[in-house]
Amino acid sequence: MQRHLDTGHTPAPEQQRHLSDLPGPRGLPWLGQALRLRPARLHLQLEAWGRQYGPCYQCRFGQRAILVVADHATIQTLLRKRPERFRRPLLGGRIAREMGFDEGLFFANDEVWQRQRRMVMAGLDPGHVKAYFPTLLNVTLRRRSRWRAAAQNGARIDLQADLMRFTVDASAGLAFGVDVNTLDSDDDVIQQHLNRIFPKLHKRGLALLPYWRYVRLPSDRALDRSVAAVQEAIRGFIAGARHRMQLDPSLREQPRNLLEAMICAADRADSDVNDHDVAGNVIVLLLAGEDTTANTLAWMIELLHRHPEALERARAEVRSLAPDPAGFTPEQMAALDYLDACAQETMRLKRVSMPFGAGPRICPGRYLALLEMNMAMAMLLSSFGIETVAPAEGGTTREHLSFSMGPVGLRMRLRPLHGEFQRLSANGA
Ligand code: HEM
């Protein structure tokens, strides 16, 4: 971070403010605010300080001095001035590399970011995302089966965990190039490894002391084993995709998943990316696409349940434009304007006004995320009535920050809709 904010013009030296000139909470010597900050509630603490110290303040976290900006226009300016004037913190990339991963787009800076961005964008543009529709439909219908069983048994669905399995299935199907199906198995091996890896990335990013460079605790050794297993699986997925593409060269023209699209980009004559870049981005696409999309869906379901008139309007739209999940098409999903507006409003309420960021590093997965969300919501609204959505512990829904911010402990109970029952009996299911 630069020492003063460049918002388009360079102020005269006497007008320039330095980090140390800004207001902010007083911290302990050496530790700063480190002992006060709880990673899972970090966003709430930063918001509270914003109300107290204004839209631009400083705080210290160990030896790291941090500038916090809560002003929309300034944030937009900063985001747009990347990569020339600002960059992602180097720490994320260092931690990922230390764990044993190749650097992927989310953590990369400078020329590594430039060349990887082209490759990832090529796999996530709207045209390619449309080609992934059959994979996404498969995952959506599988989830409907699971929810149908829960509805018929009157079982409560652990909303966040269940939606996470849906988004993992969707992202992993596209990033691995194979169907991993976490939805129907409670002991999926890859998912167990990822569940160990992703929270560690978050924790190490916020750790006061990088103890793991000096001492290996049992949890660090378990992490090493998980990283090695996932890396080996990824190498296998890349080899498998290359083999399929050799047998069927048409896949080079029309890749069916993200892995194939990235391999095509890596193999082009003028390409400056290689299999390490591909492997690094397989893991980044899983990380970036999992809980962001699952959390948004969970909040959206909670908000719609609390606003029945909006829920019924969304349901009416789905009934008239996309009534049968088995027959969903990309065109139907694109026509669901009200549902799309509900997703945008959910993100505005829970992530302020630039949910996908801005400028050259804007989220390349946004088309995929919006399509996944429309498919999941259209399936839910066409097939089920929502009986309850509430935290297991009662009271109001609490927020929890990990890679993104989600609701804590929501349980959902569904009932099959009448039309759904009729279709089921007609099909003899
Ligand atoms: C509702 C779902 C999602 C939300 C709210 C979201 C939000 C974001 C945000 C805020 C950023 C940072 C943008 C910036 O720095 O300006 C980002 C970056 C990124 N997102 Fe997403 N995202 C979502 C889903 C996805 C999905 C499904 C994928 C891919 C499978 C994805 C892949 C990425 C990648 C690779 C980056 C890094 C881009 C770069 O640094 O150049 N995201 N996302």
Q: Ligand 1 centroid to 129 CA: how many Å?
A: 15
Domain ranges of the chain: 13-70, 89-429
308 Cβ neighbours under 8 A, 6+ residues apart: none
Evaluate whether 37 touches 60 at the Cβ level (below 8 Å): no
Nearest CA to ligand 1 atom 14: 357
Place of tokens 């304007």: 337
Pairing of strands 399-401, 405-407: antiparallel
Which of 139, 277, 292 for mutating ligand 1's site (highest number of atoms within 8 Å of CB)?
292
Q: How confident is the model at residue 27 (pLDDT cuts 50, 70, 90)?
A: confident
Instruction: Give 28's DSSP letter.
Output: B
Q: Ligand 1 centroid to 380 CA: how many Å?
A: 25
Instruction: State both tokens at 415.
Output: 């009932």
Type of residue numbered 298 = A
Place of tokens 């296998």: 236
Crossing angle of helices 275-289 and 189-206, in 10° steps, is 80
How do residues 130-187 score in pLDDT, each as one tens digit? Answer: 999 999 999 999 999 999 999 999 999 999 989 998 998 898 889 888 776 654 554 5
Q: Ligand 1 centroid to 126 CA: how many Å?
A: 15
Rounded to whole angstroms, the Cα distance separating 241 from 287 reads 21
Pairing of strands 56-61, 399-401: unpaired
- Note the CATH number of domain 89-429: 1.10.630.10
Q: Is the CB of 362 under 6 A from ligand 1?
A: yes
Type of residue numbered 165 = R
Per-residue pLDDT, averaged over 282-307, amounts to 94
Per-residue pLDDT, averaged over 289-317, amounts to 96
Q: What is the mean pLDDT of the chain?
A: 89
How do residues 198-248 score in pLDDT, each as one tens digit? Answer: 889 888 988 888 999 999 999 999 999 999 999 998 999 999 999 999 999
How do residues 2-21 score in pLDDT, each as one tens digit? Answer: 444 545 556 777 778 889 89
Q: Is the CB of 297 under 6 A from ligand 1?
A: no
Nearest CA to ligand 1 atom 6: 356
Rounded to whole angstroms, the Cα distance separating 96 from 90 reads 10
Instruction: State both tokens at 264.
Output: 């095509």
Neighbouring C-alpha atoms within 13 Å toward the C-beta of 420: 21
